[in-house]
Amino acid sequence: KNILRNLAERDCYIKVFPYDSSFSELSSFEPDGYFLSNGPGDPEPLTRAIATAKEILDSNKPLFGICLGHQVIALANGVSTYKMHNGHRGLNHPVINLKTGKSEVTSQNHGFAVDDSHLDEGWEPYFVNLNDNTCEGIKHKEKPFFSTQFHPEASSGPTDTEFLFDEFLDLVNNKKSN
């Protein structure tokens, strides 16, 4: 609920859809942007969600993904995921923001990770875990898409990474004004 709370605090009008909703179901809401949330388990069997993420990307509307959403976005771009030997669980996981060079304190709960060594030329790493160098976020270089493996809504720092919700809304507002 804290993801929804963060969006609502920023005056977003929100509609929640099941994980296996089609793009036509999502787009019938006529959203200004899309958000793929967290969830449990291995992302690879979520073929319908991956196909829907591809269609969202093709729509060129802003897209933000967290945790499982991050992994689904990667898979929609042909970037593989893998099961970690030891997942990331709990608070105080340090990540480096490659855009600012600052370390962020994050909350995490995942056992799969994105293999960012195979990002295509349009994408770049956004965050890297300082404990094990795993991918903690990706960002498109030109289009309004990004995702994070960690949970910016989880008040880990307590608000170290809440700026990502503002970044998403900036993408939405910029897209609407163009």
Q: Which residues are catalytic?
A: 67, 151, 153
Closest CA to 20 of 53, 64, 63: 53
Partners of 108 in the beta sheet?
90
Q: Give the position of tokens 């793009």.
A: 23
Q: Give the position of tokens 């802003």.
A: 62
Backbone angles phi, psi at 92, to 5 degrees: 65, 35
154, 2 contact by CB (below 8 A): yes
> What residues have CB less than 8 Å from 178, skipping those under 6 apart?
none
Q: Can you read off the two tokens belonging to residue 166?
A: 């503002």
Backbone angles phi, psi at 156, to 5 degrees: -75, -30
Q: Give the position of tokens 């069997």.
A: 45
146, 35 contact by CB (below 8 A): no
Residue 21 per-residue DSSP state = -
